[in-house]
Structures are given as structure tokens and as C-alpha cells.
Chain A
């Protein structure tokens, strides 16, 4: 029972507004202590796990490239590109990006996309520019809403596309876990069952993005006298 103290600490700590990094670290130490490890053993276990998972933080390697290109006006370029497409709207653009991102992920191409690599420098400015071309200057809340939509489209398309690819980490994890419990499954048998949810995700989020354009038109009408 005491082993669950760490979960309680996470729930309470985050709701109470403590720094999540501190909360997570405290939760790990308390859980280890509750399971009967010594303080030295807990800190060592945490350190080893942190060291083994350093690859998780290597997404940040791309920051110098993105920063440099933005300094030279990458976002302006993305905007200019969208302004040349007369029929582009925020909703249509994000539906197109969602579809491409989901298909690419389903083929295992998860590195095509991402928040730092694609959304901030290219997709978000394009989505903003599409609405600016239609409605003129946008008030800040609308601008922020569009950016959040761009980030969400990237996440949802990735999550519900990648599991269709047989060599994805989550498929390997499931297979390894089942093998450890004496159940052998083929990767294909797992990935094929990611397809129904992927279709539902495309439909549900596609409809929401399609409605976003009408919603935007209404908001902008209300803003303008």
C-alpha cells in the first residue's frame, strides 16, 4: 500500500501547483523508500534511470538550426507561402497537415513533423497567415487559439498514426511485455488493431477542424463592428 504514496504525491503536488520536475523527483524518492530501499539505493536507482533515458532529451539538438533559420526570417517565409494560396483557410490547412502527418507516422516517418521542428517555425505561422488573409489583423486570443490548434493537430495525428507502423516503440513494448507473460503475438497483429482508432481520430478531429473555420468567421464578425 505504501508503495502508492508516490502516485498520491504526483496527484497532490501537481494540483497544488508545485513545480512538476520537483514533484516527480520527490515521488520517485518516496516510492523507492516505501518499497524498502535505502536513501543511497533510491538516489542511485533514479540516477541510473535518468542516465539510461538521456536520449529522450536529444530532441533539443535541433534548436540551433530552428533558431538560426527563424533569426533569418523562416516564419515570414512560411507566411508568404500560404498567402499565395487563395483558398487556404486555417481549418483546411490544418486538416491537410493532420492527414499528411498521420499517414507519414503510419509509414514509420515520425520524424517528419514535431513541435519544435515543424509547428513553431512553419505550421503555426501558416495557419495564422491563412486567417489573416481572410479576416485582416487578428486579435491576440484568436491568434493564440490558432497556434494551440496547430500544436494539437500535430500531437493527435502523430499519436493515432504511429501505432499502425509495425516497428514503432509502443508496438515493440507491447510485444515484449506479452512475451514476458508467455503470449507471443506478431507485430502485424498489433498494428492492424491501431487502424480503427486511427480512422475515428481522423474523422473526429477532421470535423472539429472543419468547424473551426466557421467558428473563426463568427468570432471575427463579433469582433468587427
Chain B
């Protein structure tokens, strides 16, 4: 059975290449640190299941220290290299035309068909791929397929895609692994029982006397805690155990399905407004080379606030029907 290990093997190979190419990049002012950072990431992907939990913990600490004390460096292009790239683009653009769009669509299409087809595909009585991870595994195959199509089409060497991945990761930097680190933080919070403490505190100090007030407290709590945690999934069990179930559902008789569904969406409003949700907010700002890394959040905030208010109203209208 093909499992996530296959995807991690590819990821490990990619980050190993990025680490080596960063180390060989004379235009990067901090290449040793950059190599160490991506090297640790590669180590985690390749050997994470063989080394102890403590060893993995040390990898996390190492990456955090590198990012927190001076950070990573970024390569730059000389004017000659820039001109050469421009010429390459014009030459390939004239030769390939709109066919260039085809490989770009291979990855999403393969991920999609793979999810639908591979999930139930049995070979000799076992699943060919782990059905729970079909999408990610199919995406990884899509990447290989797209490269296999694009490399001959563009007529270039396999080193080019790796070098370009290195350049893109230079722009994204340490925030590339923040989502994963936040998921880990959520697990530690759950282990430490943070949710129960927050619920007890809310019950003691913040009174809610009406269904509207209870719904508002829960929705704002979901949004606020998501802003801190960067992830509505991490905020949901904490806030729902603390406020959603005891107050909105038990005390005021709210329908749990409505309360939880709209509560989660209130968390998503928070995701739109927090730099902690790096993959949605900071990473695009870096990828799109925006000088203000909060510019995506600024565009999203008005919609997010209106939707949060709408969620409170919707929950009050629909959750308490008798």
C-alpha cells in the first residue's frame, strides 16, 4: 500500500535539494543558516518516523532558534542572470504558447481524479493507496506527472525546477513551516487542558443572559481564539468545550449541529484576520511580492467582520427554534 511515507520521501528529497542549492548560492547572505533550516526540515521528513519524539522535538527547537535569531537569507539575481531569464521566457513563450497552461492544470486534475478513483482501488485484496490520504498521494503523483510532461515541453534540465523551488522558498522563508508548528502547538494545548481552564474562566466571569449574548460570546470567542492560534481547528475543541456546549447548547437549548457548524465558520472569520494563519495570509503576501506583509489581511478584514456579525445573527435565528 502506498502511504504518506511516499509523499514524505518526495518532500524530503525536495527540501534536501533546496538545502544544498541554498548552500551553493553565493548571492544568499546567510546561506549556512538557510541550509541548516531546510536541512532540518528534510531530516524531519526523511527520518521523522525513525528517530525518537525527543529527537523530533530538538528539530523543531533548532528550526525555531534559526528563524528567531536572525532568520534566513534570500538569494538575488545579477542583472545578467535577469536578462538571461527574460530571453529564456520569450523564447519558450514563442515556441510553446498556450500549451504551457496544460502542465499547470495537471496537478489539481490528478489530485482530483486520484481522490475519486484511487480511494477504492484494490490490488490483490489491499488498497493500492491509503484511502484516508488519497488526495495528498494523488497530488504527489500529479507533481511528478506534471514535471514529466513539462520538462521535455520546455526542454530544460531537472535541476531547473529544483532551483526555481529554492527561489520560491527563499521568498516564503520560515513561514513555510509555521502552519505545521501551529498544528503541533494545538496538540500541546490540548494535552495541557487549556480548553477546560478557559471554559471555567468564562463561566465564572462573563455572564450571558440571553441566547443572543451566548451566541455572540461563542462566535467572538471562536474568532478571537482562532486569531491567537492561527487555526480554527485548534480553537474549535477548546472554545466549544468551554462555551459552545455548556452555555449555548446546554443552558439555552441551542441545536448542537447549528451551533457547531456556524461556530466553526466564525473561527474561519478569525483565520482571515490573523498573521498566525501564515499559509493563508503571510505566505501569499510573500509569494506575490507585496511590500506590506499584512496587505492580504487588510483586504480580508472588512468581509471577515461583516461575516462574523452575520454568523451571530444566523446562529440566534436558527439554533434556538423550538
Contacts and interface: CB of A to CB of B under 8 A. Distances in A.
Interface stretch (A7-15, A85-93, A129-137, A217-225): A7-15
Interface residues of B, number: 139
B168 A63 contact: yes
A139 interface: no
Contacts of B241: 181
Nearest to A26: B64
Contact of B261 (A25, A112, A194): A194
Interface string B122-144: 00000000000101100110010
Given A73-B92, A163-B261, A20 B276 contact: yes
A22 B67 contact: yes
Interface string B300-322: 10111011001100100010000
A71 B93 CA distance: 10
Given A22-B64, A44-B54, A74-B104, A183 B256 contact: yes
B317 to A, nearest CB: 9
Interface in A173-222: 173-174, 177-178, 181, 183, 185-186, 189-191, 193-194, 196-197, 200-201, 204-205, 208
Interface string A1-42: 101101100110010001111111111100110110100101
Contacts, number: 398
B1 interface: no
A45 B56 CA distance: 9
B271 interface: yes
B232 A155 contact: no
Contacts of B85: 71
Contacts of B151: 68
B107 interface: yes
A153 B282 CA distance: 15
Query: For the complex, would chain B's binding face be called helix, strand, loop or mixed by DSSP majority?
Result: helix
A153 B176 CA distance: 21
A32 B77 CA distance: 44
Nearest to B266: A197
Interface string B259-279: 011101100100110011011
B218 interface: no
Nearest to A196: B314
A65 to B, nearest CB: 5
B169 interface: yes
Contacts of B213: none
A55 B133 contact: yes
Nearest to A114: B108
Interface in A76-122: 76-78, 81, 109, 111-113, 115-122
A138 interface: no
A77 to B, nearest CB: 5
B13 to A, nearest CB: 10
A47 B57 contact: yes
Interface string B205-245: 00000000000000000000000110011001100110001
A24 to B, nearest CB: 5
B36 interface: no
B236 to A, nearest CB: 6
B32 interface: no
A148 B299 contact: yes
12 contacts: A6-B194, A44-B52, A48-B56, A55-B7, A56-B179, A57-B179, A72-B88, A81-B98, A159-B271, A181-B241, A197-B307, A197-B314
Which 4 A-B residue pairs are closest in the complex by CB-CB distance? A67-B164, A22-B68, A47-B57, A47-B56
Interface of B: 4, 7-8, 10-11, 14, 41, 44-45, 48-49, 52-61, 63-65, 67-69, 71, 85, 88-90, 92-93, 96-98, 100-101, 103-104, 106-108, 111-112, 115, 133, 135-136, 139-140, 143, 146-147, 150-151, 154, 156, 160-165, 167-169, 174-189, 191-194, 197-198, 228-229, 232-233, 236-237, 240-241, 245, 256-258, 260-262, 264-265, 268, 271-272, 275-276, 278-281, 283-285, 287-292, 295-296, 298-300, 302-304, 306-307, 310-311, 314, 318
